[in-house]
């Protein structure tokens, strides 16, 4: 299957730039509302006041802003320059880095890192996902914590992503198709927006890969992470299974 994805030489996912303005208005606030409680349940109780945290694939920074407001030292990293344009406005007290999660260099050490909203599913190979884990590991203090969510093998097939929204100034819809051989979902997004009293259309396609639980845990442990635990979307410990969204929690 041929997939039009950024080459390594590009070093970041510029393909998300055209989506940033809409993400900032729609999905960014929605994901923040959905994901903040799990961070408050699984991650924040293990950190000291004022801990340094990396928001990996921070998007437009709504979660970064909420945690910055709680007194944490926040750094957001994203591969989309346009996403970070909004993130800097939303979270003015945080630091932001324009870089690809697969290729970023070691940062100032942090106490914890997280990546949510299925951001790491947009990494389309296990080898590149392992590289993300290595980058995070190098950035964490000893005993630092890494929390991320991931849609597991078969989840895109069993729970296809569909939806949309209609507002006065814009409307959008998304539909998904699934390649069961490669475990990759393709998401076709159609956006209508107003320009000078007329409506313009934009069509975008993004890809995401689901992963086997055992492969992800093995990759974490091979990187050096320990105490790997897996939680469901309500924050309950799970036994190994696929076909769903889960949270991986581990420690350096």
- In a domain? residue 56: yes
Q: What is the pLDDT of residue 10?
A: 46
By residue count, the chain amounts to 252
Could you tell me if 192 and 73 lie in one domain? Answer: no
- In a domain? residue 241: yes
- In a domain? residue 4: no
Overall pTM > 0.85: yes
DSSP-based three-state secondary structure for 220: helix
Could you tell me if 171 and 216 lie in one domain? Answer: no
Domain that holds residue 161: 155-208
DSSP per-residue string spanning the chain: -------GGG-S-GGGGGGHHHHHHTHHHHHHHHHHHHHHHHTGGGS-TT-EEEEET-TT-HHHHHHHHTT-EEEEEES-HHHHHHHHHH-TTSEEEE--TTTPPP-S-EEEEEE-TTGGGGS-SHHHHHHHHHHHHHHEEEEEEEEEEEEBTTHHHHS---EEEE-SSEEEEEEEEEETTTTEEEEEEEEEEEETTEEEEEEEEEEEE-B-HHHHHHHHHHHT-EEEEEE-TTS-B--S--SSEEEEEEE-
- In a domain? residue 5: no
Could you tell me if 179 and 242 lie in one domain? Answer: no
Per-residue pLDDT for the chain (252 aa), expressed as one digit of tens each? 333 333 343 445 677 888 899 999 988 999 999 999 999 999 999 999 999 999 999 999 999 999 999 999 999 999 999 999 999 999 999 999 999 999 998 789 999 999 999 999 999 999 999 999 999 999 999 999 999 999 999 888 888 778 888 988 889 899 888 998 999 999 899 989 888 888 989 898 989 999 999 999 999 999 999 999 999 999 999 886 767 899 999 999
Could you tell me if 69 and 135 lie in one domain? Answer: yes
Q: Rounded to an integer, what distance in angstroms lies between the CA atom of residue 13 and that of residue 5?
A: 8
Instruction: CATH number of the domain at 84, please.
Output: 3.40.50.150
Q: What is the pLDDT of residue 16?
A: 82
Could you tell me if 62 and 147 lie in one domain? Answer: yes
- In a domain? residue 91: yes
Which among 37, 102, 34, 94 is positioned nearest to 60, based on CA atoms? 94
Question: Among all chains, which residue has been given the structure tokens 């951001």?
Answer: 119
Could you tell me if 192 and 120 lie in one domain? Answer: no
Could you tell me if 215 and 202 lie in one domain? Answer: no
């Amino acid at each position: 299957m041929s997939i039009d994805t950024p080459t390594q030489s590009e070093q970041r996912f510029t393909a998300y730039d055209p989506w940033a303005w809409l993400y900032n208005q729609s999905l960014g606030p929605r994901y923040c509302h959905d994901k903040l409680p799990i961070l408050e349940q699984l991650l924040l109780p293990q950190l000291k006041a004022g801990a340094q945290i990396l928001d990996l694939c921070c998007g437009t920074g709504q979660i970064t802003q909420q945690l910055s407001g709680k007194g944490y030292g926040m750094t957001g990293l994203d591969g989309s320059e346009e996403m970070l344009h909004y993130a800097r406005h939303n979270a003015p007290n945080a630091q932001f880095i324009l870089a690809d999660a697969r290729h970023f260099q070691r940062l100032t050490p942090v106490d914890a890192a997280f990546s949510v909203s299925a951001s790491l599913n947009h990494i389309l190979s296990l080898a590149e996902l392992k590289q993300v884990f290595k980058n995070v590991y190098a950035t964490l203090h000893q005993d630092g914590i890494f929390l991320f969510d991931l849609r597991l093998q078969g989840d895109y097939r069993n729970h296809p992503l569909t939806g949309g929204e209609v507002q006065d100034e814009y409307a959008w819809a998304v539909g998904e198709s699934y390649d069961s051989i490669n475990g990759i979902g393709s998401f076709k997004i159609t956006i209508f927006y107003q320009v000078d009293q007329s409506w313009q259309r934009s069509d975008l396609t993004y890809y995401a890969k689901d992963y086997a639980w055992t492969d992800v845990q093995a990759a974490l442990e091979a990187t050096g992470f320990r105490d790997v635990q897996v939680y469901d979307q309500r924050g309950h410990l799970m036994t190994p299974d696929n076909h769903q969204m889960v949270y991986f929690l581990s420690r350096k």
